[in-house]
Amino acid sequence: MFTASETSIISLTVLVALGILGWGFYRARRFGKLGILAWLQSVVLMAPWLLFFGLFATGIYINLAGVLLLLVGSTVIYVYLGNRLRAAGQDAVLRAKATERLNSSNSQTAESPDAAVKPTSEKLKIEVVPPIPEEDLNAIRGIFGIDTFFATETIPYQEGAIFKGNLRGEPDTVYDRLNTSLQERLGARYRLFLVENAEGKPVFIVLPSSNDPRPSSLSQKIFAAVLFVGTIATSLETGGLLQGFDVFTAPTRYQEAIPIALGILAVLVSHEIGHRVLAQRYQVRLSPPFFLPTLQIGAFGAITKIESLLPNRKVLFDIALAGPAAGGIVSLLMLLAGLILSHPGSLFQVP
């Protein structure tokens, strides 16, 4: 079914995909249940496309009903895992808070031996201070106001703090104002997040920027560059196959495959540019795109890692949508150009 070169490239692509999944599982395992659930979400998100294109590469074609079934099934599982992940995260936060309060209570009891003989009606008051320097904490509290977010309670959270209160205005507008004020006061030392707590009420979380995900290493950037070079090669091969020849066995004809290869690369690159334009707008760092080369269609796409903590789900949605939107626009323009340039003597004609 496949030539020797095609078989070797397909095998290499499968090994790379399995390696990426295995590497992700290894990285996620150290975070326990939360990490595994997050890893499973990413697998479920990619599984329909990997399955579809994988079967397509072996000559097995799935009809539209099958594709829709895969998408709906993966969406249901993704939402289910998201709910499990959210519940597990809330449980972890509650356990951490309970442990911290218990440790504080034990330490205060140990320092005050006479506390055991006090009447039980007296309640032990424990003031838990967030692990943020007092000067910075006061500056952070200063960004809140009665016309934006009226903060009523400060709760320690990891290396930062959670601010409970009443939101006064549209969430996006309030967040932009508070985030700008935070950067003016403390620069890039802290990150501000607007989320919903277990009761569904908006709360602000402030964490030090030192908790940001680590940027891509040099070896990862080199690996991304190698995958991009491989994608160029497979795009040329795809262009050749669509015209009835194999670029790897007839390399002198590579120029004939360049137009189609450029079209494939234009869609891929515009897709990634769309992600990065929105990411830059929201000041979110992205890793280099890790393209997934394949012989039949040039590439399965690319995997891009988010290297910043996202302030809210809207940012995630906008960044995720920008890529397909940009790639779709370029694809549509190329389709229209192809229809206009098509003529009776061309290889690809309008039906």
At residue 205, the 3 state secondary structure works out as strand
pLDDT tens-digit map of 191-244: 888 888 777 788 888 888 877 778 888 888 999 999 999 999 999 988 888 888
* pLDDT given at position 26: 86
Nearest Cα neighbor of 269 from 313, 304, 314, 221 is 304
CATH assignment at residue 171: 3.30.1360
Confirm if 139 and 185 have CB atoms less than 8 A apart. Answer: yes
Residues 196 and 241 in one domain: no
Give the H/E segment covering residue 155.
strand 149-157
Q: Is residue 22 part of a domain?
A: no
- For residues 194 and 22, what is the distance between their CA atoms, to the nearest angstrom? 33
Residues 176 and 195 in one domain: yes
Domain-ending residue, one of 171, 189, 211: 211
Q: Is residue 189 part of a domain?
A: yes
Confirm if 41 and 74 have CB atoms less than 8 A apart. Answer: no
Q: Is residue 349 part of a domain?
A: no
* pLDDT given at position 4: 62
Q: Is residue 16 part of a domain?
A: no
Matching residue, tokens 């952070």: 140
- pTM over 0.75? The answer is no
- Neighbour-count burial of 200, counting CB atoms closer than 10 A to its CB (0-12 exposed, 13-18 middle, 19+ buried): exposed
Q: Is residue 18 part of a domain?
A: no
Domain-ending residue, one of 195, 211, 227: 211
- For residues 255 and 25, what is the distance between their CA atoms, to the nearest angstrom? 41
Regions of the chain with pLDDT less than 70: 1-7, 9-10, 57, 90-130, 345-351
- Domain span at residue 73 reads 31-126
Question: What is the tally of structural domains in the chain?
Answer: 3
* pLDDT given at position 106: 60
Residues 180 and 108 in one domain: no
* pLDDT given at position 68: 81
Q: Is residue 346 part of a domain?
A: no
* pLDDT given at position 97: 61
Task: Give percent above pLDDT 90 in the chain.
Answer: 12
Q: Is residue 114 part of a domain?
A: yes
* pLDDT given at position 232: 92
pLDDT tens-digit map of 87-118: 777 666 666 666 666 666 566 555 555 544 44
Domain-ending residue, one of 211, 236, 258: 211
Rounded alpha-carbon distances, angstroms, from residue 60 to 1, 49, 54, 74, 240: 12, 14, 9, 20, 21
